[in-house]
Amino acid sequence: MFEPLKPYEMSDGQFRKVSVPQHRYNPLKKALLDIYTPIYEQMKIDIRMNLKARKVELKMRPDTPDISNLQKCADFVHMSSMLSPSKSRMLRHFEVITCLALLEDYLVKAVKLSLQLKMQLRRGL
């Protein structure tokens, strides 16, 4: 009877805005191309950086294959904005697919990473 709805038509929230902390803004601007490529090409999500509001905005495209890609990309951008400059080199080798496979462990790894960074700051490394 009816055609199945496309992912673009199913969701009400077709936008995500990821806030970037002030001290992480310039490193994120430098690594934006490394972040932009997998999100735009693999996940089919439009991405732009709002310079005035200091946010990264993500928007679903009509050819986005899955609704959950928008939230996964928002998590990816948030994680990559929190990486230290020495660890931002990993973004070149990090694909969104890797983020999808590890999505269940994402929160655990994010907590471990933040604890490691705190310990490094305390030690003065």
Angstrom distance (rounded) from CA 66 to CA 103? 15
| pLDDT of 99 | 52
Number of CB atoms found within 10 A of residue 125's CB:
8
Q: What is the pLDDT of residues 55-85, one digit of tens each?
A: 999 998 888 888 888 888 898 888 888 775 5
Residue 81 has, within 13 A of its CA and on its CB side, a CA count of: 22
pLDDT in tens, 83-104: 755 555 555 555 555 554 555 5
How does strand 15-19 pair with strand 45-50?
Answer: unpaired
Domain boundaries, the chain: 7-123
pTM: 0.63
CATH of domain 7-123: 3.30.1370.10
